[in-house]
Each structure stands twice: as structure tokens, then as C-alpha cells.
Chain A
């Protein structure tokens, strides 16, 4: 008891759980945002309208090749400080930076969601769409009712990878002052002498978040697989 208190007393005075809670919130909001936007992008890329196909392709190829740090910093310096985009934050820096980070993470991750989903769409036999069209379903109905439900079931594992990468990518939000886990780690490294232990604590924290994600979604993937 005594010994443990001494070893971990560098944690005293820091809101470790609070910082990880911000990480979790960044992850969850960005995951939802990127899932929605990524699905729309995938729909555009397989759609019949050339303009939308072109936009989807261009978006994915531009966004996934820009470093996330550049996107997040641009959200802060470009959108907020230059263009005064506050995303409804009402002048509260903390809120604005958090929302900008979610926006940047969502826009970036959506490119990867789109590509994972598109590979899932390719696993659905062409006959499924033909049968649906032959019934008189419209393009969006075919996509929504027949293709995407089967595509999502095929890509649970790749999407789990994207989610794990997103969880770790939230650390980039520290660059624009969002007080999440990596921000706190930097603070602590500057103020405390336990460099290895501090790193280990944060590494462990992230593993606690991502390991269950991977295991759970691996199980879900088997559970929802479409039998042909």
C-alpha cells in the first residue's frame, strides 16, 4: 500500500480520468461523424451521377493524403482564427477547439470509412442489385435496403481498424489545445520526473480503450456475417 502510493504519487493533482474522458468523447463524436459522411461518400462513389463520383474520388484521394495534423491545425488557424467559424461555440475557446477537432477528425476519417465500405460493396454480388432493381426499387433504395446492409456486415473488421486508428488519432487534437489524454501527458512530462512511468500510464490507458473495441467488433463481425 505504502509503496504503491509512493511510486504513483506523480499522478496526484492531475485529472487523468477527465483527460481520457475527453479522448472518449472526441472518438465517439468523430466516429459518428465519419461514419455518416463516409457512408455518403461511398454512396457517391458507386452512384450513377458522374459529378458525384468525381467528387467522391477526389475527396478521398486529397483528404487521406494530407497529414491529420495539417487538417486539425487548419481547422483552428484557417476556419476559426481566419474565417471566424465558431461552430456555435459562442466565443468559448474550449468548446470551439473541441468542435473543430471533431470536425477535422470526422472529415479525415470519413475518407477511410468510405474506402472500407466501398470494398464491402464490392463483396456484394451484382445479382443482388439486379434483383432489387428488377423489383422496381430506386437507386437509393437499392443502396440503402440491399447493398449497404450487406456491405457493412462484410467490413466490421476493417471498420474496427479505422476506429482504433481514430481513437489514437484524437491525440492530434492536443495541437490545437484540446485537453485530452496526450495534452495532459505533455503537461505531466514537463512537470514530473517519471518519464517512463508517465508514458506507460498513458499507453495503458489507450490500450484499455482500443483493445475491447477490437475484441468486441471482432465478435460482432462473426455474428452479423451474411451467409451465402
Chain B
């Protein structure tokens, strides 16, 4: 049983280049605020999409709608051809295939680092405990926090905690990884260690949606940059195109504020 569920993601993974995440005509309101306005976005398998934009532009909300941590008012979202189901077993199964990394890490505070990375495998994938531990240790080594396995999250630095959070998400063999401002809560000297792990993931062909303010990461790792402002996608382009020759005034204004200081 465990063998089946572990290999499941690999077996029916979409071929590289096929549409993996599709948002069409998505709208969402927070009270009077129209936070997502007619969002159309398609993310292909193996693609790294970086979403940037000013604060309050709706980019985090967009990221959170993809695994339905935020509900939408209208439109449709599908992952690997399946529309997002209502809250329940179906949705839980789908979320297991979508890895998520949060700004505030959100490691389970009462469990050790190792237990954090084992929990989803055991409780959701029904993986054998021993296999789960092996995999967890391998992943922790891979993100460079293997020696911290038996500590509690509060004993780790922010950068270490975020790398554990990435390992926790990867342990589920996700089809796509969502990063919601993964470095925004980190001290400057810890940002790079997290970005390096993400760069490595991108090189290995993981499908990624990354909401970030790290322009360097966008330039070097993204296949595509999506620029959002006021709840709308204003511009989509390759990083080269976007950073050297933005088309919209809104993007020009944004870039002029962050790149020259």
C-alpha cells in the first residue's frame, strides 16, 4: 500500500511542459477589497514562476488559493487536470500533492525536526515508519540541517527552520511547490542559505510558484516572472525581458523603486 502511494506522484506526473496548475478567471474579495481580479495563469510542469509585486497586490493570496487555503469567489482552479474539490477528503488528498512553504515557517512546535518531516509521510501517505525516517533524514541532509534532526524548531535559526519546512514539504513528493514569501521573515544573512536550496530544487526540475521580493532569485531561477499590482496580473515575461525592458508603467515604477537605492 505504501509503495503504491509513494510512487503514485511519479507515475501520473504530467510530462514536462504540460499544464499542471491552471487558474482561469479567478476572483476573490476580502470584504469590499477586490483582492484577486480576473486572474488567468497557467503553470507548466517543470516551470518556475516567480510572482512579484508591491505589498497588498494579492500575490500571497494568489499563492494560497492554489491549495485552497484561501477560497475563491468565482472562476476555476485545477491541478493536474483535476478541479480543486470542496473541503473534505478529496481536497486533503490533493493538498498532499501540493507542497507549501510559508513566510513564518510554521513548523510544528511540539515536534522535533525529524518528526516534522516524518508526520505527513506516516499520517497521510501511510508510509512505513522506518522508511519515513530514512527519507526524512536524507531530505534533512539534502537541505543541510541533518545534524539538527532531534532538536525542536524553536532551537533552530530562522534559515534552518525554513529549510526544514522545505524538507517537510518535499517529503510528500509534491507535484508542485508553493513558496509564500519564504525569505521575508529571515535575517539578511540567512536568506541565501534558503535561496540556494530553492535554486537547487529549480535546477532539478521541480514545478515551483514563488512569491518573493528577492529579485536576484527571480532573475537567476525563474522561467517566467509574473508581476501583480492591485489584484491584477499586470505583466508576464521572462526574467530578462521583465527586468531589462518592462512594458507596463506600473512595473517600471515598481522596478525603479526597488532597483535603485
> Which residues on A are within 8 Å of B, measured CB to CB?
48, 125, 127-128, 130-138, 141, 145-146, 149-150, 153, 226-228
For the complex, is B154 an interface residue (Cβ under 8 Å from A)?
Answer: yes
Query: How far does the alpha carbon of A138 sit from the alpha carbon of B95 in the complex, in Å?
Result: 10
In the complex, whether B96 has a CB less than 8 A from a CB of chain A is yes
How far, in whole Å, are A127 and B89 apart by their CA atoms in the complex? 21
* Cβ–Cβ < 8 Å partners of A133 in chain B: 69, 92, 95
Question: Do B120 and A127 have beta carbons less than 8 Å apart?
Answer: no
B203 close to chain A: CB less than 8 A:
no
B168 / chain A contacts, CB cutoff of 8 Å: 131, 135
Q: How far is the CA of A226 from the CA of B111 in the complex (A)?
A: 9
Taking the nearest CB of chain B, how far is it from the CB of A226, in angstroms?
5
Q: Are A146 and B124 in contact (CB under 8 A)?
A: no
- Interface positions, chain B 117-135, Cβ under 8 Å from A, are 119-120, 123-124
Q: Tell me the bound Cα distance from A191 to B123 in angstroms.
A: 63
Are A227 and B92 in contact (CB-based, < 8 A)? Answer: no
Which of chain A's residues has its CB closest to B155's CB? A227
Min CB–CB distance B91 → chain A (angstroms): 9
Q: Which of B67, B106, B120, B152 counts the most chain A CB atoms within 10 A?
A: B106
Which residues from B are CB-within-8-Å of A125? 104, 106
Residue of B nearest to A126 (CB): B106
Q: Which 4 pairs across A and B sit closest by C-beta, in order of nearness?
A: A136-B96, A131-B106, A127-B106, A135-B120
A151 to chain B, nearest CB (A): 10
**B87 and A136 contacting across the interface, CB-CB below 8 Å:** no
CB atoms of A135 and B95 under 8 A apart: yes
Q: Is the CB of A150 within 8 A of B109?
A: yes
**With A135-B95, A135-B124, A137-B123 given, is the CB distance from A128 to B106 under 8 Å?**
yes
Q: Say whether A134 contacts B124, CB under 8 Å.
A: no
Among A128, A130, A136, A145, point to the contact of B109 (Cβ < 8 A). A128
Given contacts A153-B110, A226-B109, contact A130 B123 (CB under 8 A): no
Which residues of B62-107 have CB atoms within 8 Å of chain A's CB atoms?
Answer: 67, 69, 87, 89, 92-100, 102, 104, 106-107
Residue among B67, B95, B104 making CB contact with A127, cutoff 8 Å = B104
B108 at interface (Cβ–Cβ under 8 A)? yes
Instruction: From B100, B109, B119, B169, give the contact of A227 (CB < 8 A).
Output: B109
Can you name 24 A-B pairs with beta carbons within 8 Å?
A125-B106, A127-B104, A127-B106, A130-B69, A131-B107, A131-B168, A132-B108, A133-B69, A133-B95, A134-B69, A135-B120, A136-B93, A136-B94, A136-B95, A136-B96, A136-B97, A136-B120, A137-B120, A137-B123, A137-B124, A227-B152, A227-B155, A228-B109, A228-B154
Alpha-carbon distance A17/B147, docked complex (angstroms): 55
B69: nearest chain-A partner, CB-CB? A130
CA distance A135 to B69 in the complex (A): 11
- Give complex CA distance A149, B115 in Å: 14
Contacts of A145 in B (CB 8 A): 119, 123
Chain B positions within 8 Å of A226 at CB level = 109-110
Q: Is the CB of A138 within 8 A of B89?
A: yes
Task: Find the A residue at minimum CB distance from B99.
Answer: A134
B97: chain A residues within 8 A (beta carbon) = 136
CB contacts (< 8 Å) of A227 on chain B: these are 109, 152, 154-155
When chains A and B are docked, how far (Å) is the Cα of A132 from the Cα of B108? 8
B210 at the A/B interface (Cβ < 8 Å)?
no
Nearest-CB residue, chain B, relative to A146 = B108
| Contact B109 A135, beta carbon cutoff 8 Å | no
Chain B residues, CB < 8 A from A128: 106, 108-109
List chain B residues, Cβ under 8 A from A228: 109, 154
B20 at the interface (CB under 8 A from A): no
Give A65 to B102 CA distance when docked, in angstroms: 43
Interface residues of B in 134-167 (CB under 8 A from A): 152, 154-155, 165
**Contacts of A149 on B, CB cut-off 8 Å?**
110
Say yes or no: A134-B95 contact (C-beta < 8 A), given A127-B104, A227-B152. Answer: yes
**Chain B residues closer than 8 Å to A130, beta-carbon distance:** 69, 102, 106
Chain A's nearest CB lies how many Å from the CB of B1?
Answer: 16
List chain A residues, Cβ under 8 A from B104. Answer: 125, 127
Q: How far is the CA of A6 from the CA of B213 in the complex (A)?
A: 84
